[in-house]
Amino acid sequence: MSQSNSDDISAVLDGYRVVCYPDPVLGRKAKPIEEIDDEVRRRAAEMIEIMHETRGVGLAGPQAGWSARIVTLNTTGEPDGDAVFINPEITSSAGEETDEEGCLSLPGIQAKISRAAQVEVRAYDLDGQEVNIKTDGLLARAWQHETDHLDGVLILDRMSPAARLVNRRRLKELEAAHKERG
């Protein structure tokens, strides 16, 4: 999920960059992480760097080219607000609200997306400890956005037909850029 609508999203850090639409990894369900080891911790640190570099509030494994059920979040913008969650699962939700939403994997695209107003999440931290979170507002929206990525769902899949039409030109540009990169 992005804070800005910047077109300059292809940040490269340690060989990683944000994977953009229509890359196939974004449409696949990510695999659960079986063991939290040094490799998982290293990749989590890289994801946090990418999230900061691109001014995002969250990043899911597939957006870093890693088909794994891992999410980094920071809705505060402060370095001490960084958090990593392994195998997150939304266990309940309530209410509904619609707000403007963007995505690091869809630079230049914004749309009004309906989401639950509150969510409860169960996940594991980098020490393997279970974490249970009940939240609302921006953090609830970010959780839903990032767990959608883990399930191969993009905001495109949640847009109204009118919003897809409004964003059609930008989607074609992203498709052409993807084809050029091969």
Summarised one tens digit per residue, pLDDT across range 121-143 is 999 999 999 999 999 999 999 99
| CATH topology classification for 24-181 | Peptide Deformylase (3.90.45)
Average pLDDT, rounded, for the chain: 91
Tokens at 123, concatenated? 């996940």
Q: Which of 120, 146, 175, 180 is catalytic?
A: 146
Residue 2 — very low, low, confident or very high, per pLDDT cuts 50/70/90?
A: low
pLDDT of 15: 47
Backbone phi, psi, residue 71, to 5°: -135, 140
Its pTM stands at 0.90
Measured CA distances, 68 to 15, 25, 44 (Å): 17, 10, 11
Tokens at 28, concatenated? 């696949």
Reported as half-sphere exposure (CB side, CA atoms, 13 A), residue 12 has a value of 1
- C-beta separation of 88 from 122 below 8 A: yes
Residue partners of 5: CB distance under 8 A and separation at least 6:
102, 107, 108, 110
Residue 77 — very low, low, confident or very high, per pLDDT cuts 50/70/90?
A: confident
User: Which residues are paired to 90 by β-bridges?
Assistant: 121
pLDDT of residue 18 exceeding 60, the answer is yes
- C-beta separation of 1 from 58 below 8 A: yes
d(CA 165, CA 169): 8
Is residue 146 among the annotated active site residues? yes
- Tell me the three state secondary structure of residue 49: helix
d(CA 68, CA 87): 8
Summarised one tens digit per residue, pLDDT across range 88-133 is 999 999 999 999 999 999 999 999 999 999 999 999 999 999 999 9
Alpha carbon of residue 81 to chain centroid: 16
